[in-house]
Structure 1
């Protein structure tokens, strides 16, 4: 097994434990990457100012640099350092922290006959609704978002790249038009209007970024929670008796079986991590899922505990690039589980055969269902 194959392996956690025994950063000759597997090393790399989210020579992937998808990518705060990261984050993060989902999920969800479609569509629809997209356009926006994120994989086909450009163009047009006034959108606009940062195109790109970041990571979180409930029916009974425990469940699943198994950092200047010297141009693969299972970060890490004290989860990153929508993502997933429990409990209690979508870093179950709606193949996550 390689660290990239581990992301979609049935059970990669013994493999990760073996890597952690090796100590600090390891260099994988076959992949040409440094591997960070322990919580301490992962945290050190994520915090180091010379370990960047994009390589200096390629701020935008070459495959999309000339198209509309590349223009959106270039402005995403999670793909930038300095002002390109700090300014949009200062506007959007406080607004996300103020969001209340209230009845948004219940108003969006239709009867579920296809778990795969549900996992991919619900989270994007919730965020789109919070940003003022009319309900009649939510399915359309979810489709455009899936088209856009398809370009993030190094394995994307020419057709996917064309669809990504078309999706990016349509999403930019939508966010440039008049949307419904919602609490979140008004909060973002108020923060933007009172800030020193004035770049309306970059702001629109980062609204699209909220949709794209939500799409697959949240699908994986919902899906891995469903897998956990299928494997641990006693947890289903606990949630049935106390629905608020759904939040604790998805928090623990995010740690125990992370939807984002790894991410990368690119070394911009010679630096030292632990006792290893990294040179400019090096790449580090951070095994977030392994760090989650490190006993130095979480005692008894291989047990799934709803009441885990001081839970440490690296699935959403850490440091300055930690996901600003972490709490919102967890709440959306918890609402999804509670919705199924209250309206379609058979979906939770019935074991569904599944495999994992092909990916180098994402862990998203693909359930074998009788629904006829197709879901496009996921891209690679970027964090």
Structure 2
């Protein structure tokens, strides 16, 4: 889902720099290290831009906030598949994965979306998330203990940020310990879906078969896990089909994995680069919750999300036509000076902080509260337990070449 895939031919256009130029530049090493100056230029020069192939790039807070709540911008699987197929190339191949995942709340529109979301909400409650706090704390402490025992340095991504969400999800869904090695293999593939479409499709099929077996077990012998709660919800409301139940499990299990990893990794890097804010958090552990909100704003894990135009509409004075794709750059909105005072400054006590890091409107990220809880516990514990934590090699930092997600390849630290 590469936003620059169809814009290369416009680089030499006459006149001022166009959004295509900046979008293509997001694939450069410079932009991978720091995309935010590129977003700032997009907002100034062409905040609602249509490429020659009909792809829109939205970068202002006001425009993206409105777009997220506008049902004329669709997340429907079938519309998305048609839009990708029309573009051809890699995007056409990626449409196979969109289709393979089935119809779930993350790729449907109302009324199906509202029905699926309501049913998932009954099982995935705020109370259930908060009940995991002690277990999350235990997992984080265990990961830190292992890292400290291994030596005076560690890759914080590999040691804490990456294994944490999978361990929490396995706890939440009651995945047996003996299945963890295979589940880890699948999760590694899900983090690289676009690198090998055939391998990704096979992994999705294997994982769905595994989930189907778990669902059958929970029907016969329910427990205190989320799959059992979803099965119980289905029994009370037969509108949730078996296929939808499986797809809902798949999305709930996998959706928060990458986001949580990015949030912890990016957040810790931001703190290590801002020692005054790090000291502030260390002195006042109660800041951990608002700190996570600000860290998610400052270096947003999900940089952009994709929608397809279901009905002509006007945003920022431009008319978006049915069937066109729109990339909504959440990370750009979170640094918009029209919405945030001094947006390039990290401020853990920023007043009125309402970033769009987890979306907004009907498709607001259901797993957002769980991701925030894990980040709150992980960041707070790392700051408290490792008071001398610092980067070992700033120049060695690198990020995966995906402009829609911002994830460090590694975060080498000493403590």
Would you call these one fold, judging by a TM-score over 0.5? yes
Aligned counterpart, 1:295 = 337
Residues 391 and 412 in structure 2, CA contact (< 8 A), matched pair in contact too: no
Structure 2, gaps ≥5 residues long: 1-20, 85-90, 148-153
Greater alpha carbon shift after TM alignment, 3-12 vs 103-112: 3-12
Q: 1:224: Cα distance to partner?
A: 0.4
Residues 81 and 95 in structure 2, CA contact (< 8 A), matched pair in contact too: no
Residues 229 and 236 in structure 1, CA contact (< 8 A), matched pair in contact too: yes
Aligned counterpart, 1:97 = 126
Greater alpha carbon shift after TM alignment, 52-61 vs 140-149: 52-61
Between the aligned partners of 2:196 and 2:308, the Cα distance in structure 1 is 22
After superposition, the Cα gap between the structure-2 partners of 1:308 and 1:187, relative to the gap in structure 1 and judged at 3 Å, is farther
Residues 80 and 95 in structure 2, CA contact (< 8 A), matched pair in contact too: no
Aligned counterpart, 2:253 = 211
Please give the TM-score of this superposition, normalised by the length of structure 2: 0.78
After superposition, the Cα gap between the structure-2 partners of 1:139 and 1:232, relative to the gap in structure 1 and judged at 3 Å, is farther
Per the alignment, in what secondary structure is the counterpart of residue 237 of structure 2? coil
Q: Specify which of 148, 156, 177 is matched with residue 115 of structure 1.
A: 156
Between the aligned partners of 2:351 and 2:64, the Cα distance in structure 1 is 21
Q: 1:126: Cα distance to partner?
A: 0.7
Aligned counterpart, 2:319 = 277
Q: Specify which of 203, 214, 235 is matched with residue 163 of structure 1.
A: 203
Between the aligned partners of 2:24 and 2:104, the Cα distance in structure 1 is 25
Query: RMSD of aligned C-alpha atoms?
Result: 2.9
After superposition, the Cα gap between the structure-2 partners of 1:18 and 1:63, relative to the gap in structure 1 and judged at 3 Å, is closer
1:148-174 CA-to-partner distances (Å, cap 9, x unmatched) read 4533x2x43533443343334334433
Per the alignment, in what secondary structure is the counterpart of residue 285 of structure 2? coil
| 1:50 partnered with 2:65 | no
After superposition, the Cα gap between the structure-2 partners of 1:238 and 1:368, relative to the gap in structure 1 and judged at 3 Å, is closer
Aligned counterpart, 1:318 = 360
Per the alignment, in what secondary structure is the counterpart of residue 81 of structure 2? coil
Q: 1:287: Cα distance to partner?
A: 1.1
Residues 115 and 369 in structure 1, CA contact (< 8 A), matched pair in contact too: yes
Aligned counterpart, 1:374 = none
Aligned counterpart, 2:213 = 173
Per the alignment, in what secondary structure is the counterpart of residue 303 of structure 1? coil
After superposition, the Cα gap between the structure-2 partners of 1:289 and 1:319, relative to the gap in structure 1 and judged at 3 Å, is same
Superposed, which structure 2 residues align to 1:342-381 within 5 Å? Answer: 342-344=384-386, 348-352=389-393, 353-367=396-410, 369=412
Aligned counterpart, 2:110 = 82
Larger radius of gyration: 2
Q: 1:196: Cα distance to partner?
A: 5.1
Structure 1, gaps ≥5 residues long: 371-383
Higher relative contact order (CA 8 A, sep 6+): 1
Q: 1:344: Cα distance to partner?
A: 4.8
Structure holding more helix per residue: 2
Q: 1:75: Cα distance to partner?
A: 2.5
Greater alpha carbon shift after TM alignment, 53-62 vs 261-270: 53-62
Aligned counterpart, 2:373 = 331
